[in-house]
Structure 1
């Protein structure tokens, strides 16, 4: 098999996962993966320019891909929307085969220099969930939905990492409580809109906010950009 016909990016990620529990998402793990796969370092660096950081990001996006596929295979027609969201988050965690790799990733992206990358990945997960559930919002709600879900997801991940309950039942209960909290906020917002004297003020504010649109899909066929491999 030639290098051009191999999925070297996937091989490198799989190899790295064998070393991450011991070395974290580090340069040491990256070099060990290169040796295991027996690929030219220059080629590996071309696929993952930042080394282990890009590997960790690819691992996260692999989990997003698996979640989207699992969600698409489910019949959601009988579920309330809040339960669809809960299911998506639960699937995202249940499909993780290496909890320690996630723990090491959380440690990596908690570092100040990598925190923006971590926030971007969490936002990406929230976006994949809402998109997978058919979210059609094209205004400020596009942002608020993802920001809220990103908070729910990140807090649930942290709880899950420390959960030793049977089948992670404590985590799923925690997730349900967080989603219920969000639903309560939405109910309060709806009641405020109906309050005398507030409706007109809210209507004006919403007219301004309605001009805010979600970002246009990024084109990958233009020069000057690069996306880490999945």
Structure 2
């Protein structure tokens, strides 16, 4: 049996999923998983230092990895908006236990873990855009991910209560949300194409143009970077 940190994390997560429907993403689940996976609690604390919340984050990350792998192997639709819809659908279909997601939603709704939940959703949106070849390096990098985070989280909440055949109601809901986003993008394009409106928003647009996507340089405490104009 492999005992590398990643192997131990996977074994604990697999064992935990049997307990999550009953005890949620909790310390009780973490300890039960340790017993089932035959992992010493000292090792458990080493690989999941924050306990159950790290376990829940690992489960979310596993779903992201499955989605990315499928995006790289499946034939995708031609229209870009349909590719986005397919990616969100793939992410939801990566879930093997709806109750595990429901319990995770409850956990991340707690004020102390709300930041973790937001970071997980943002990470999913970022992986989708990256997998689909997004090359934006300005404020659009942020708006794309913020918008998709809203679409994804709303669709997951709808899916949790969906009892339709093959989740057809959820996929219809997802299409409507993406259509709403496309309407916003249409309005933005109209503003850019209007001489009057583009002049009116020249100041705010200049400020936004200075916002840059995160670079490959070492991370700082602030997201992205700020570029001062030399003109």
TM-score, normalised by the number of residues in structure 1: 0.90
Separation in 2, partners of 1:184, 1:162: 27
Cα displacement (A) at 1:18: 0.4
Q: How many residues align?
A: 219
Corresponding residue of 2:46: 46
Higher relative contact order (CA 8 A, sep 6+): 1
Moved more, 194-203 or 105-114: 194-203
| CA distance 1:219–1:7, shift in 2 (3 Å) | farther
Deviation track 1:182-219 (CA, whole Å, cap 9, x = no partner) reads 00011112122333421223344333212211123475
Can you list the C-alpha shifts for 1:133-175, whole angstroms capped at 9, x where unaligned? Answer: 0000000000000000000000000000000000000000000
Q: Provide the TM-score with structure 2 as the length reference.
A: 0.90
Q: Measure, in 1, the Cα distance between the counterparts of 2:202 and 2:57.
A: 41
Q: Does 1:58 align with 2:61?
A: no
Please name the residue that 1:9 is paired with: 9
Partners of 2:6 and 2:182 in 1: CA distance: 47
User: Equivalents in 2 of 1:19, 1:27: separation in Å?
Assistant: 11
Runs of at least 5 residues in structure 2 that lack an aligned partner in the other structure: 220-231
Map 1:133-212 onto structure 2 (within 5 A).
133-212=132-211
Asked if the contact 1:25/1:55 (under 8 Å) is kept, the reply is yes
- Indicate the SS of the match to 1:92: helix
Change (3 A) 1:160 1:70: same
Gaps in structure 1 of 5+ consecutive residues: 221-230
Structure 1 vs Structure 2 CA RMSD: 1.7
